[in-house]
Chain A
């Protein structure tokens, strides 16, 4: 997926389940995105702290392993990486545990991932960003 100006959007998939992470990353690469894979919070932070990688959007398991989990990463992201869209994926049970502190609506995407919904969500983000 080529942005105006020719740059390919860079996404990160952060999930502790390697089979889910691999399958989703492979699908997104087939859609034309450049995809970085992270297995836990430490890896995700290392990637996001590297501006050369220019990650624009993160698809993150709400229960990502590591300090703070997916919700913690999103919370941290508001201050450290404000230009990065972090989309959490999880179940209703996960939302009930964490939503009051972070986001009143809970995870943004259901997990297991529906590829069409993932693609739609990314397109929505890009459209709103381009309008801004």
Chain B
């Protein structure tokens, strides 16, 4: 099944409520790449973050909220690393998302990024593996992703 037909099946399936079909959404170009799920409710920040990581060679999936991130994980979208903002609207902020994601995917590496939380020391011990204070340079984002994925 080529990528185009696979996508068609996925999209039609989604309309019919068959969320499990989304599992196989990885395109041929992304096959073999480490997958990173970036979560941020600020669209421009999310886009820059995602493009930075794509240009560094990662397959990137984007979510605008904790609820969207959980929907993606529940649907089986590939993710080796989750990088999430902390303060987000919706039922799940970044820290709640980290807890929920850990339950869904015990092997998922999780990092948080925020302009409001100076440190995560003591928060979510054993769940969050990395913290990136905002603002950050693209090189810092890439370095953190590389370090965390190498440790996995």
Contact = CB atoms under 8 A, between A and B. Distances in A.
Contacts of B62: 22, 25, 37
Given A37-B47, A39-B43, A43-B43, A27 B72 contact: no
Nearest to A39: B64
Nearest to A50: B44
A22 B7 contact: no
A contacts with B: majority SS: helix
Interface stretch (B12-20, B106-114, B120-128, B135-143): B12-20
Interface string B59-85: 001111100100110010100000000
Contacts of A38: 43
B44 A47 contact: yes
B79 to A, nearest CB: 11
Contacts of A29: 27, 29
B54 to A, nearest CB: 8
A46 interface: yes
A53 B64 CA distance: 18
Given A27-B3, A36-B47, A115-B4, A19 B12 contact: no
B129 interface: no
A115 B4 CA distance: 6
Nearest to B30: A26
B4 A23 contact: no
A30 B3 contact: yes
A28 B44 CA distance: 19
Interface residues of B, number: 31
B92 interface: no
Which of A23, A29, A53, A112 counts the most B-chain CB atoms under 10 A from its CB? A23
B11 A24 contact: yes
Contact of A26 (B14, B27, B43, B64): B27
B44 A27 contact: no
Contact of B72 (A22, A43, A113): A22
Interface in A27-56: 27, 29-30, 36-40, 43, 46-47, 50, 53
Contact of B11 (A20, A30, A36, A40): A20
B1 interface: no
Interface of A: 17-20, 22-27, 29-30, 36-40, 43, 46-47, 50, 53, 111-116
17 contacts: A18-B64, A19-B14, A19-B22, A20-B11, A22-B62, A23-B11, A26-B7, A27-B4, A37-B43, A39-B65, A40-B64, A43-B43, A47-B44, A53-B47, A112-B11, A113-B11, A115-B11
